[in-house]
Amino acid sequence: MAHLIFDIDNVVDCRDCILGTFKDEYKNALKQDLSNECENSAKFILQKNIIWGDALTLKRVDASGKPIIFSEWSSVNGKMMKRRDFSFSQMLDCSTEGLPLLSDLGDNVWLPKPVKEFPIIHYLRLEDAEEL
């Protein structure tokens, strides 16, 4: 059981380290501290993208046993964000279905389909979209 505790601690430490770096860079760039709302949004993004998973089973290593899901975050008009969730298993399956898409160089293009799309929302309210 100690092995499980060690691994989840690594995930928490990783999130904390990235958040600390973000806070430092924010303060250096903007000469002010991060607001509570902005910090909460950053924590939410890290919670969704720094996860404890098993790449062999493609599932989370927690009591839920859910598939590994990663979130893509896109900026829309500055302060608005768009979130799309993708399953890790689908990201590994880069087969092309239907008519092939080709890049400018003539290579096949693989476009994964999101398992869920969220409405565009202000970056300080990212968690609110979870409830919609």
Task: Specify the pTM.
Answer: 0.79
Upper half-sphere CA count for residue 26 (Cβ side, 13 Å): 14
Per residue in 51-80, is it b (16+ CB within 10 Å) or e — as a string? bbbeeeeebbbeeeeeebbbbeeeeeeeee
pLDDT (0 to 100) of residue 42: 96
Which domain range does residue 82 map to? Answer: 2-130
Instruction: Name the percent of the chain lying above pLDDT 90.
Output: 60
Token representation of residue 38: 């902005």
> What pLDDT score was predicted for residue 79?
95
Cα 53 from chain centroid?
13
Statement: residue 8 has pLDDT above 60: yes
Query: How many structural domains does the chain have?
Result: 1
For the segment 21-40, the average pLDDT, to the nearest whole number, is: 96
